[in-house]
Chain A
């Protein structure tokens, strides 16, 4: 995976030219709506993936990167629009610069060309979900279970797992059908053997009994054992061509006539099933065309060897993307495939019945030849040939579909006229034939028995093979389903646990016992969440929009952690969780800082206050944020990246006191609000929620004094001299600063309207700003790498610790 070192945007979206230095650290982009912040998100998205998610997907009809990603003034010159992204491979630490031009979005150049960096970039490109917007998080929370399942599956790249499952299911079904067909053939072969032996069941003892009766007639040694290689006619000389067993022949022809009458009046059993399956297929709108297209796409899928499309020879950005594109087309014909499978199964059954019928005919034809009834032989031969053609027409789908009209008609069986009378003549001829000698009869009996047991054995071996293949194919599918279910259940349990844990952390003040349940079932992913210990409900049932946003981000983070594991190093959060109230956003910052310390977050927000919260929580440093404002079509956004004290110094260097005063006022209001919340200061409640600096700062000062006092009292009670000294030092510093502030009392008096500041001289305002800077610094960690504001933990009525984000400052507040 990669992190971002530097970003340069030229003529892209709403930005004319912009450079941001991120140095692989988390970064905040803040500014009002319409200030061009999202251009940064789109640029990163484009540089990594070659596309802009905002310009694709539902609701983006007709938008394309080439036409709509360039700045509107460069819409006819996409070659002018480009993004440069200097990235670091998190695996190797090597750095290279991606340059991607809108005129040729599918490819990018890398300088220097470092294979491991390119590999890391390509891996990031395969995970466009590293860019998250509010509309994305709503998909996880507010979607109905079926949709949520698809979204989560897409995020976790589970689509291919589903395709594997579906393929193995097809393999298992085909193996089962092949086995079933062989079973039917085996049943038929055994039935004919049983019929010849005149046995109700085939057992070794009874078969040997029947065979040995005839062998005794022929003075042959009785067989004592029946093995797969035993020859029933062992020792029998070549049987005369015209010998047959009269009773067996009469029994056989009677059985055939019964079958004949049944199939000529009612047809074969599988005919109506096949007709129904064909009817359902051809009457489904577009099914036949979909099947042809499916065959086309499936052929193409097999031909994919690299990033080139086998149909149009155009290069895709990646082979997986191309494969997924073609699979999505194949999935659209899943219903048609189901219909096709029904037709194939019914056609196979009908084919087996035809085979069985033709096999019976051959025995009857032999009798017809022996008994010299050529008409019966000819007619059955003609019929067999016709049925053979029918059998062949069941092989190809297009041929099968054309059979619909003939399946219910007698024409399907193509019965030659006069067949039954010829069979009756044959039966009468056999009846009138004098019974042959017992020896001829025995010879005939054993020859036919041998022929039929050979056939049974041959079909039996095939059946055994297909049975084994079927068992293995079924085993593969079952093992896969088990592995799939086990891993997904484990995954969802972990995601559920981490999601709940993250959400509890953000909402520890009012939902500390929150828990969630993720239940995957048949293409759905049900999600229920606890609502204040009153039961489990869908997330949208009772929770506010802000809480739902929080859930969406927490679920996203939990999913990403499992999707990318140690490769989760970059996430672009575009104006997410804006509905979450400020106190919970603070905890959200803490969550990102503590739980995802190896992730570089690029976060956009339209609230300055939240940008400050990110900084105060130590999630971003003051140098790693950019303030966007004053966007115009012609110039794009104005971007301010300096610390606000730098901005004040800069204004004062130009003797621009009003500008410096406005900056100080805006920041004092924001910081005092943050400090009041993070220290738990008592503030006079205002129903309109509009607090100014004067409303907040008194409470903050009193609270600070009280906390330092508690820290000293605690240190004394634990006899912790080192801690006591530190707390005393801070308290003395506080007193000195308070004294200094009193010297500037007329200026810092909250009652004095801020507008008065604008009338100060530059020197007066510089002293005022300096006093405030020192005043505010006492609430910050002195560690320059941290610089976060102090906070009490837990942020409840009885906090136990006063600390900063890096714990350089950490005072116990509890006494022994």
Chain B
């Protein structure tokens, strides 16, 4: 991971963590996916749906 990539992802994480609408578990799950390069839109949307649902409950 380049320095620039690292900077952008760190900044992204901070913004997500500061957003009350985003569940902390989603932040961790998403950042793990980004770090490991598993960029599958379907999987990310499924995670959002699952964790947003849990948060609603």
Contacts and interface: CB of A to CB of B under 8 A. Distances in A.
A491 B15 contact: no
A410 B34 CA distance: 48
A217 interface: no
Given A160-B37, A465-B53, A491-B4, A486 B45 contact: no
Given A157-B4, A164-B39, A491-B4, A479 B48 contact: no
B19 to A, nearest CB: 6
Nearest to A481: B12
B37 A476 contact: no
A157 B5 contact: yes
Contacts of A487: 4, 7-8, 11
Given A472-B21, A473-B45, A465 B56 contact: yes
A302 B41 CA distance: 11
Contacts of A160: 5, 37
Interface in B8-57: 8-9, 11-12, 14-16, 19, 21-22, 26, 30, 34, 37-42, 44-45, 48-49, 52-53, 56
Given A471-B21, A476-B48, A158 B5 contact: yes
B12 A479 contact: yes
B22 A476 contact: yes
B38 A302 contact: yes
A175 B4 contact: no
A168 B30 CA distance: 10
Chain B CB count within 10 A is highest, among A157, A171, A302, A323, for: A171
A437 B38 CA distance: 65
A161 interface: yes
B3 A563 contact: yes
A637 to B, nearest CB: 36
Interface string A474-498: 0110011011101110010000000
B37 A323 contact: yes
Contacts of B1: 157
Contact of B3 (A167, A476, A483, A564): A564
A483 B37 contact: no
A171 B16 CA distance: 16
A469 B45 contact: yes
A161 B22 contact: no
Please classify how large the interface on chain B is, using the bins under 10, 10 to 19, 20 to 34, 35 or more. 20 to 34
A463 B48 CA distance: 15
A482 B7 CA distance: 13
A276 to B, nearest CB: 25
A565 interface: yes
Contacts of B14: 483
B4 A562 contact: yes
Contacts of B56: 464-465, 468
B12 A175 contact: no
B45 A174 contact: yes
B44 A171 contact: yes
Contact of A563 (B4, B41, B48, B49): B4
Contacts of A138: none
A486 B14 CA distance: 13
Chain B CB count within 10 A is highest, among A161, A298, A464, A471, for: A161
Given A161-B8, A171-B44, A171-B45, A475 B53 contact: no
A156 B19 contact: no
Contact of B48 (A161, A170, A175, A491): A175
B48 A469 contact: yes
Contacts of A170: 41
Given A472-B26, A472-B52, A565-B3, A484 B8 contact: yes
Interface string A170-200: 1100110000000000000000000000000
Interface in A181-233: none
Contacts of B22: 472, 475-476
Contacts of A469: 45, 48-49, 52
A562 B39 contact: no
A476 B22 CA distance: 8
A163 interface: yes
Interface in A315-353: 319-320, 323
A468 B54 CA distance: 12
Contacts of A565: 3
B3 A562 contact: yes
Contacts of A562: 3-4
B48 A163 contact: no
Given A465-B52, A468-B52, A156 B44 contact: no
B16 A479 contact: yes
Contacts of B34: 164
Nearest to A170: B41
A154 to B, nearest CB: 11
B8 A479 contact: no
A473 B48 CA distance: 7
B44 A480 contact: no
A482 B37 contact: no
Contacts of B48: 171, 175, 469, 472-473, 476
A230 B39 CA distance: 44
A179 to B, nearest CB: 11
A784 B57 CA distance: 75
Contacts of B45: 171, 174-175, 469, 473
Contacts of B40: 167, 298, 302
Given A167-B44, A472-B21, A479-B19, A161 B37 contact: no
A464 B56 CA distance: 10
A110 to B, nearest CB: 23
A174 B45 CA distance: 8
A163 to B, nearest CB: 6
B39 A167 contact: yes
Nearest to A564: B3
Contact of A163 (B9, B26, B39, B44): B39
A424 B15 CA distance: 61
A480 B16 CA distance: 9
Contacts of B21: 471-472, 475
Contacts of A168: 44
A174 B2 CA distance: 29
B2 A563 contact: yes
Contacts of B37: 160, 304, 319-320, 323
Interface string A553-566: 00000000011110
Nearest to B13: A483
A220 B1 CA distance: 70
Contacts of B52: 465, 468-469, 472
A161 B44 contact: no
Contact of A174 (B11, B26, B38, B41): B41
Contacts of B9: 483
A174 B46 CA distance: 11
A156 B4 contact: yes
Contacts of B4: 156-158, 161, 487-488, 491, 562-563
A472 B44 CA distance: 11
A551 B37 CA distance: 35
Contacts of B41: 167, 170-171, 174
Interface of B: 1-5, 7-9, 11-12, 14-16, 19, 21-22, 26, 30, 34, 37-42, 44-45, 48-49, 52-53, 56
Given A157-B1, A475-B22, 8 more contacts: A158-B4, A163-B39, A171-B48, A471-B21, A472-B21, A472-B26, A475-B21, A483-B11
Q: What are the nearest 7 A-B pairs in CB distance?
A: A157-B2, A483-B11, A170-B41, A483-B12, A479-B15, A167-B39, A487-B8
11 contacts: A156-B4, A157-B2, A160-B5, A164-B39, A320-B37, A465-B52, A469-B45, A472-B26, A487-B8, A562-B4, A564-B3
Interface of A: 156-158, 160-161, 163-164, 167-168, 170-171, 174-175, 298, 302, 304, 319-320, 323, 464-465, 468-469, 471-473, 475-476, 479-480, 482-484, 486-488, 491, 562-565
